[in-house]
Amino acid sequence: MLIHQRTLQKEVILSGTGLHTGKECMITFKPAPVNYGYRFVRTDIENSPEIPALIENVIDVLRGTTIGLNAVKVHTTEHVLGALYGLQIDNCRIELSGPEPPVMDGSSHPFAKALLDAGFKEQEEPKNYLVIDETIEYHDAENSVDIVALPLDDFRITVMVDYKNPALGSQHSGLFNLETEFFKDFSPCRTFCFLSEVEALANQGIIKGGDIDNAIVIIDKNMQKEELDSLGKKLGIESEHLVLGENGILNNRELRFKNEPARHKLLDLLGDIALLGMPIKAQVLAARPGHASNVEFVKQLKKYADRNKLARQYQHEKKAGVIFDINAILNILPHRYPFLLIDKIVEFKLDEKIVSIKNVTMNEPFFQGHFPGNPIMPGVLILEAMAQTGGIMMLNGNDKIKESVVYFMGIDKARFRKPVLPGDTLVIEATMTNMRRSVCQFDAKAYVRGELVCEASLMATVVQKNK
């Protein structure tokens, strides 16, 4: 994989009609400086507002991925972003004279070809790869969607689709080398939909720029001539130009690849992964993906990336099975002896869950008085250890962590099941249940040798330190 970031040698311009809005648009790809990423710029709006192509700016996933910021939108970003990501371009300014990139032929190929013609310029800054070193999963049982990222010191992606349609059937495809495979084997793959969907989409006014030349329409229902006439009118196509194809595809259009629909799903997934804002090193496996699931999967990757950023900031020495050691904790929490009550963090899922370890020894100062001859860890200190664990989870994404402190607002449903004794190892699991601005609620449970010893629900807030 490439080592350094790259951008374009020169700008390049394309124009056409947007698939969903039906509006004419000119798209201009321009070189950009290091660490710029991808930014869409609406030149048709006063002051040319910019929308960074980042997962937090996704506002809609209906039949495409729409991003927006401050009431300004860009529809159907995936084919443009797929071309940029597939060609391993890191930095590009994308100027649009309308709300949606032109659909072209329904694939990324026209964009990819234009970008190749513009040429690439290697930049001095290294690429900021997100290296996946644990399994990251997204599962949607209702829609039978599964997407997983596995550790790999490279990038590979495999997609399977199964729509239970004779013309489509089950298909799969895999991309194993962006440099040699993306442009010729994946960028030409066109978007597709079912004939039954076209009518519904046309009725909703969603595909105002759609025609038989920029999408593959798979026949999943019979239509009489009157129905085809009606559909043609809605799409602005002469009805005699619409034929129920014998190969299962409207107008008997030939596929560019036998598994073109599966390849296009892979292309869409690439375009949505680009919203992470950094290239990844991983093996990605996806079953029946779509834009909604892609976006949720990328959100999982973003949480993993944010957690890793925090780990790199505070955990300077990598240790097996440890997210934060005691030195990192000392840099995160303000607590000190004798009130620092956790020793390490062994699991951390951003805004979801954190697991800490407290090694309870006879040297703990509280054992002198609680109780002489019968040492038991005070329940209130177990709660404090839970609080400190949850505090790290709350401070995770705070860039000004040194200027913040966690104050607890409430403890509810506290239960003490068994005593904690010298020599015990306390394993504390805290799970986020609600987060609103600076206030959060989380449930915490403490275990010794797998047995529950304490549980409670806690509420806390993050505030600025007094100066």
**Residues involved in catalysis:** 291, 370
* One-character DSSP codes across 359-376: E--TT-GGGGTS-TTS--
Q: Are the C-beta atoms of 168 and 256 separated by less than 8 Å?
A: no
Instruction: Give the number of other Cβ atoms within 10 Å of residue 233's Cβ.
Output: 12
* One-character DSSP codes across 62-91: SSS-EEEETTEEE---HHHHHHHHHTT---
In angstroms, the first-to-last Cα distance of the chain is 48
Q: Are the C-beta atoms of 234 and 199 separated by less than 8 Å?
A: yes
- Could you identify the residue written with the tokens 């979801």? 352
Q: Are the C-beta atoms of 285 and 181 separated by less than 8 Å?
A: no
Sign of CA dihedral 27, 31, 35, 41: negative
Q: List all residues 6 or more positions away from 84 whose beta carbon is below 8 Å from its beta carbon.
A: 38, 92, 111, 115, 274
* One-character DSSP codes across 314-325: H--S-BTTBSB-
Token couple for 155: 């990038």
Q: Are the C-beta atoms of 355 and 439 separated by less than 8 Å?
A: no
